[in-house]
């Protein structure tokens, strides 16, 4: 999937919407609600990735902003003093690394997106409360949508809001297990609108998750970057 960067105002909203700044791990006194996620946003031009907190040197770096101009964000999986274990927007799906606290700003995000492939349904939660639910088009049997825990990496606006991707698309940290390139992109799994609303609720895509144009417009203004995307069978 190859998409176009959203406007600065929409991106800014996606970064900050409903996110509360977190200054310390929960053990240090911060109050974290049961359903809140911790999101780490890069503060410098480079984030160093370590295989463990005891590693003597990083094994790779990631640049900020990303290749599409979005802020570099991570979903945090585990926390210890001075370090965050984060999910990475790279292959293989589910990859993680450790980053130093000093290289990221942390925030709490109450939202999460749950996609049920068998029910062809996308549900958005704010804490324990359902705030949006609708039918979704998902990958065909030969081009399946990968299951697992992922997160929203970037928000992209389309030049034609009535085109195949609708008005907006979220890029996620998931990648197709079948397609290693598609439409000029790296086979990244997106959540986007559609110009075929009659096909929602079925196995129709190359792996991306399609929802209504009204739905993706709503979510583009609601969900911060870093929001978890849980794709279930």
Distance (Å, rounded) from C-alpha 5 to C-alpha 170?
10
How far, CA to CA in Å, does 61 sit from each of 33, 98, 229?
31, 11, 24
Which of 74, 70, 7 is closest to 39 using CA atoms?
A: 74
- Among residues 35, 120, 132, 208, the one annotated as catalytic is 208
Active site residue 120: no
- Among residues 35, 48, 192, 206, the one annotated as catalytic is 192
Active site residue 208: yes
Residues marked active site are found at: 192, 208
């Amino acid at each position: 999937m190859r998409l176009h960067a959203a406007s600065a105002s929409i991106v800014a909203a996606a970064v900050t919407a409903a996110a509360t700044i977190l200054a310390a791990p929960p053990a240090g006194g911060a109050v974290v609600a049961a359903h809140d996620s911790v999101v780490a946003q890069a503060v410098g031009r480079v984030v160093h990735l370590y295989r463990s907190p005891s590693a003597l040197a990083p094994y790779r770096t990631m640049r900020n902003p990303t290749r599409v101009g979005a802020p570099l964000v991570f979903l945090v999986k585990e926390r210890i003093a001075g370090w965050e274990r984060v999910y990475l927007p790279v292959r293989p799906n589910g990859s993680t690394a450790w980053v130093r606290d000093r290289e990221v700003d942390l925030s709490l995000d109450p939202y999460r997106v749950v996609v049920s492939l068998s029910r062809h349904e996308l549900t958005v939660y704010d804490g324990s409360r359902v705030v949006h639910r609708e039918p979704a088009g998902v990958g065909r049997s030969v081009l399946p949508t990968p299951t697992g825990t992922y997160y929203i990496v970037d928000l992209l606006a389309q030049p034609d809001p009535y085109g195949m991707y609708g008005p907006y698309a979220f890029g996620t940290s998931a990648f197709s297990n079948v397609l290693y390139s598609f439409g000029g992109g790296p086979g990244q799994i997106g959540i986007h609108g559609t110009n075929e609303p009659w096909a929602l609720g079925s196995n129709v895509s190359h792996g991306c998750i399609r929802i209504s144009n009204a739905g993706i417009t709503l979510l583009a203004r609601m969900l911060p970057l870093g929001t978890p995307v849980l794709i279930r069978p």
